Amino acid sequence: MSLFGTDGVRGLANVDLTAELALDLAVAAAHVLSERGAFEGHRPQAVVGRDPRASGEFLEAAVVAGLASAGVDVVRAGVLPTPAVAYLTAARGADLGVMLSASHNPMPDNGIKFFARGGHKLHDDVEAQIEARMREPWERPTGADVGRVRFDETALEEYVTAVVESSPARLDGLSVVVDGAHGAASATSAAALERLGAQVVAMNCEPDGLNINDGCGSTHPEGLQQAVITIGADVGIAHDGDADRCLAVDADGNLVDGDQILTILALAMRGRGALRGDTVVSTVMANEGFRAAMRAHAIGYLDTAVGDRYVLEAMRAGGYSLGGEQSGHIVLLDHATTGDGLLTAVHLLAEVASSGRPLRDLAAQMTRLPQVLVNVGGVDKTRLSTDPMVSAAIVEASDELAGVGRVLLRPSGTEPVVRVMVEAATETQATEIAGRLASLVTERLSLTHV
């Protein structure tokens, strides 16, 4: 089974993802990228960052040691968002970027994401080469040929400044509540929005290494929804642990998800001639209401597999400027090479401010079809596509929903679960069918099933 999922290597820190594994991955990555010509004519350089979780401290040390031992100069950027590492890798002309984060996962987990020169995520074939080269014998550099390590105190400020300067409009007069998930957004989002003129209340922006994603952020927006209502704010913004996601909350406390944000940005960008190809890239998990909204406004859409890396690959291949996922990974390719929660928030809020319309009205440009998502754990997700009873049940449910909904079952690329998604004409019908399918998946694919 491959170490790499849809978003790097993840696992329980110090059990699945150990210091030894992190060091070996770093060395192998240096070797593979060197042989692919990434370092030709100059001494290689890498940018390394992390989110605030405690395990990131020893994993960062291991990655830095591995890279330096392979002759790579390392710039330690400290605690900052994943998209900041991608930005700095491109802006500094570095050959490699490494981010230590498990994104929205619980604190005990951690992960390693690699970025190639230019700040783009590695292709699947490059990840496979890195995995294949781990722990191979190699000639170690000595003396002046070993890598040097320095900490860059300006990295965070450089990233925030770049995002602020990308904004299409000022945010004067907007009141915003920002939920930083006690993660990497804690030192970036509120500061950036305040520079643009917004009045900001920050919540869950006091990371201690242990509280990241703990009942807060984009995976637990309930507290933000209540705060927006209590404070009387115009908008709420929710990030995940590494701040590559953005969800929003309108003034009435209603959640505005990634599909709705994509709709708002697509119409705004098309209006100012910035939506290249008049097309948006989304994933198979996008709500059917998103597709209907795009058709209604004569905007094309392209579906990809789940994962912002696949969205980005399709965007680059087609020359498109906007793409994203329902989860809040939004890619604005004219400004970033990966999903960026702060960048998304800035451009979303800029549309609210410049249009003079409340977020509620902008979000209403898309009508969501009732959608239910159930995560089924404790199962062997590799057997999902081969179990005949599960396959038959999917066909039966799809026939039942023909013309008014759809069914999608898929193994998660980042967690040990099977995701069961059902869209239907009513919430009741979607819930009933999703529950039925989830029960069958548990019964048929249970790790204890013989």
Q: Which two tokens stand for residue 235?
A: 């908008």
Burial class (CB in 10 A: 0-12, 13-18, 19+), 51: buried
Q: Which of 34, 55, 101, 103 is flagged as catalytic?
A: 103
Which among 366, 237, 347 is positioned nearest to 301, based on CA atoms?
A: 366
**Are the beta carbons of 92 and 119 closer than 8 angstroms?**
no
Give the up-direction half-sphere exposure of residue 288: CA atoms within 13 A in the CB hemisphere: 16
For tokens 């299409």, what's the residue? 168
What CA–CA distances, in Å, run from 156 to 139, 151, 152, 162?
Answer: 35, 12, 9, 10
Strands 73-79, 96-100: pairing is unpaired
Q: Which two tokens stand for residue 131?
A: 């995995």
Q: Which two tokens stand for residue 415?
A: 């967690």
Q: Which two tokens stand for residue 340?
A: 């960026």
**Are the beta carbons of 301 and 314 closer than 8 angstroms?**
no
Strands 371-377, 322-324: pairing is unpaired
- SS3 call for 87: helix
**Are the beta carbons of 224 and 249 closer than 8 angstroms?**
yes
- SS3 call for 326: coil
Give catalytic status of residue 398 as yes or no: no
How does DSSP classify residue 379? B
What is the spatial order of strands in the sheet that 8-12 belongs to?
A: 4-5, 8-12, 109-116, 96-100, 45-50, 73-79, 149-151
What is the spatial order of strands in the sheet that 247-249 belongs to?
A: 199-203, 175-179, 235-238, 247-249, 255-256
- SS3 call for 284: coil
User: What is the set of active-site residues?
Assistant: 103
